[in-house]
A = this chain, B = another copy of it.
Amino acid sequence: MDPSKGTIGDCKELMLSLRDFGDIWRGKWKIQIILYLSINKDKTIYFTQIRRDIPGISSKMLSKELKELEINRLVSRIVHPTIPVKVEYLITAHGESFAPVAETMILWGLQHRKLILGIIAALNQ
């Protein structure tokens, strides 16, 4: 975190990493999905179950997001050849490594909410 080089605004490396991070996790759904699978990693979770438990997500989005998460080795898929077919989704070890990051986000979000609500309360009084 030290801009040791001469000019202002070096630390491009950090900015680039952040950009990479953003590219992977952009969009409304992926982080919620990973958190969900992370929390329920001891259960057997099928496609429709996820869709039911993440309010507002459509089949299309869920399918797309899961595909991208799989490409990034964050979840894995197991097809059960029953009739009709069922597809199980699991979080990978690598996917689980994201849980602490999500936790940091959540804690910050709560703290932020408290601060903003405090400001609003002060304004209204």
CB-CB under 8 A from A36, the residues of chain B are 9, 15
Given known contacts A15-B35, A52-B9, A94-B115, A3 and B40 CB-to-CB distance under 8 angstroms: yes
Q: Does A123 contact B (CB under 8 A)?
A: no
Whole-angstrom distance between the Cβ of A10 and the nearest chain B Cβ: 9
Are B53 and A8 in contact, with the CB atoms below 8 A?
yes
Given known contacts A14-B106, A15-B32, A104-B101, A73 and B3 CB-to-CB distance under 8 angstroms: no
Complex CA gap A3/B49 in Å reads 15
Complex CA gap A38/B9 in Å reads 11
Q: Which of B9, B72, B94, B109 contacts A49 (CB 8 A)?
A: B9
**Interface footprint category on A:** 35 or more
Are A39 and B104 in contact, with the CB atoms below 8 A?
no
Q: Does A61 contact B (CB under 8 A)?
A: no
Are B43 and A113 in contact, with the CB atoms below 8 A?
no
Q: Mark A55-73, 1 if CB is under 8 A from B, else 0.
A: 0000000000000000011
Residues of chain A at the chain B interface (Cβ within 8 Å): 1, 3, 8-9, 11, 14-15, 17-22, 24, 28, 31-32, 35-36, 38-40, 43, 45, 49, 52-54, 72-73, 94, 97-106, 108-113, 115-116, 119
